[in-house]
Amino acid sequence: MAFYWLVAAGVLIVIEMITLGLTSIWFAGGCLAGFVAALFGADIIVQMIICLLVSIVLLIFTRPVAEKYFNHSRTKTNVDGLVGMTGRVLEEIDNKNERGKILLNGMEWTARGETDVEIPVDAEVVVKEIKGVHAVVTEK
């Protein structure tokens, strides 16, 4: 039975290497714990419980630390990279009438204010988030 735990751990490690989602690696750790339990002659139910408990503990307590370590230098791309950038209002931003455009990074974007306060033409704005095709902005 111990061999199957090693195979399962190997498959999960390969899945992690392909996806890099920091999810299946913790279950591979649980499989290794199940492997150790099998080596000590534990019943299959005990092995599965140990596997499940170790996987959950690893997922809850070590995943946030690992994500922080691995994702600290990730470069934001596409839409995520626009958040925090400064743009200029091309058409008055008026949430009530659903209009507004900004020039951001050389491109024209439809924009909505973070609040219902109107933002005049030529004002500088900061992008707070992107919702669909709209940049949600605040006046700088």
* pLDDT tens over the chain, length 140 residues: 789 999 999 999 999 888 877 778 889 999 999 999 999 999 999 999 999 999 999 988 887 777 777 666 666 567 777 888 999 999 999 999 999 999 998 889 999 999 989 999 999 999 999 888 899 999 98
What CA–CA distance (Å, rounded) separates 74 from 35? 35
Closest CA to 104 of 74, 66, 130: 130
State residue 74's pLDDT score.
60
State residue 57's pLDDT score.
93
CA 15 to chain centre: 18
State residue 65's pLDDT score.
79
State residue 105's pLDDT score.
84
Residue positions counted in the chain: 140
Q: Of all helices (H) and strands (E), which one includes residue 111?
A: strand 107-113
Q: Is the CB of residue 87 less than 8 Å from the CB of residue 127?
A: yes
In CATH terms, the fold of domain 78-139 is: OB fold (Dihydrolipoamide Acetyltransferase, E2P) (2.40.50)
State residue 43's pLDDT score.
94
State residue 71's pLDDT score.
62
Start and end residues for every CATH 2.40.50.140 domain found in the chain: 78-139
State residue 72's pLDDT score.
60
